[in-house]
Amino acid sequence: MSKLFIPTVNVGLAHEADIYCLELSQPFTITAGGDGVLKLWKNKILEGQLPKEHVYTLNVNQVGIHHAHYLHYIEPVDQKEIFLVACVGFNGSLHLYEFDLTEKKFHNLSESVKFSGAKDEAGSQLGIDFNESFWSVKFVPKDLINGIETHKLVLATVEGSLISYNFEYLSGEQSFSKDEVTHSEFSFKNKQKINTLTKINKSDGFPLALDCNNVRKIITMGYSNGEVLILELQTLRTLFNISLSPYPVRNLKVSHDGKLLSIAHDMGSYGRMSLVDTDYGEHLGDYTVATHSATAAGSATTNESLIGFAHNKWVLQNDFNESDEFCISGGLDGKLRVWNTIKRERVSTLNMSNLDIEDETKILTHDEHNNNLDNPGILGCKYIPKNYRGGMGSDSNEGLVVVCLDRSVRWYREAGGI
């Protein structure tokens, strides 16, 4: 079964530098990049309206942003709708903002958050060191049905530590508390001491990828040495240590039901997509397209062998659709592929072209290193659930959003009945 997607709207030169972060929330498509700017693109725009006229922009970090995530939640008691965004800059700093959905304004929480609970030896309350060397960030929303009583802010540092904060919304102010699990030595061993900070140290790999799931209640971390950890969300106890290859893990995505983990990782210069069962830590298989290569698997011979990979270049982001029936992968080869999750069959391929951009004055043909961008590589891709976007057919069809090396944002809608 094939799936077709129709381009609906796009923005050329959406940022002044490469777009390293793409996230999708119900109200906004979120982008951030090397220009240090955070942008919230309104999803519910009508036919004929331009995204650039419905975007909220904030200058966050002069050295650029490489990771961002959001929390969108309606508090059950007072029906307060909150929207938080956390960003990590290239200098390792953390930036935390609330976007007021009524006033359409950003509020900096980095200096105004209040902390409760843990204290240091001097008796002072422990807070977030926003200038610590962070690498990635994730929010985990409160989920009373699944036993998660507070929101969580999960952070990975460049040293390989994992820090988890509990926080809740209190009368317009954010209150954070944190529990700590300290490992005196962590090399995928379960040596831990429960104190008041949730922290795991891993010395022999850089933590490139991070994802969380509040249904299965797990955290996943992927490292530059190919290792993948699946940890229990509340205690950070290691559930599984998975090693499928010695190559870097670029991105991790847990399915919405928490049962599957999609791993985007390298295989030489090629992009590999693997599927893992989170209940048993079992490798279920790979998503593959036949590719001729003499070196992709690290072979020293010059004879070509038939090797299956997902993309001809690295895959930097992957995502599941709302039902987990399909998974997408975006490669630096300029191709976005849609896969049947369980069968691991390719059902669609979208080829990126800089000629996709409607505004000819916003087409980037070469980057600053004079690399040709006729078919720009994909830096990020997300599945769009039904009824997130405005316009014809969006209430009954899913969609896609893609950011590419030509610094553009492209939105698509699945072809089907409207």
CB 134 within 8 A of CB 128: no
CA-CA-CA-CA dihedral for 252, 255, 261, 265, to nearest 10: -30
How many folded domains does the chain comprise? 1
Other C-beta atoms closer than 10 Å to the C-beta of 168 total: 14
Which residues span the domain enclosing 35? 5-173+182-296+305-414
The per-residue pLDDT for 203 is 52
Residue pLDDT, tens place only, 271-315: 999 999 999 999 999 999 865 555 455 543 333 345 579 999 999
**Which one, of 172, 229, 171, lies nearest residue 200 by Cα?**
229
The per-residue pLDDT for 176 is 62
The per-residue pLDDT for 302 is 39
Tokens 């490669």 — which residue?
Answer: 331
Distance between CA atoms of residues 213 and 205, nearest Å: 23
Q: What is the mean pLDDT of each run of 10 residues along the chain (418 residues)?
A: 90 97 98 98 92 97 97 84 94 93 90 54 57 89 88 86 79 55 24 27 74 96 91 90 93 98 96 97 92 50 56 98 98 98 95 94 91 96 95 86 98 83
The per-residue pLDDT for 236 is 86
The per-residue pLDDT for 181 is 36
The per-residue pLDDT for 133 is 87
Kindly state the helix (H) or strand (E) to which residue 144 belongs, with its residue range: none
CB 9 within 8 A of CB 416: no
Distance between CA atoms of residues 194 and 177, nearest Å: 15
CATH of residue 105: 2.130.10.10
Distance between CA atoms of residues 40 and 160, nearest Å: 30
Non-local CB neighbours of 143 within 8 Å, separated by 6+ positions: 214, 215
Residue pLDDT, tens place only, 130-148: 777 899 999 999 898 889 8
Distance between CA atoms of residues 380 and 328, nearest Å: 10
The per-residue pLDDT for 177 is 59
Q: Which amino acid is at 208?
A: L
The per-residue pLDDT for 345 is 93
Cα-atom radius of gyration of the chain, to the nearest Å? Answer: 21
CB 309 within 8 A of CB 321: no
The shares of helix, strand and coil residues in the chain, as percent rounded to the nearest 5, are 5, 50, 45
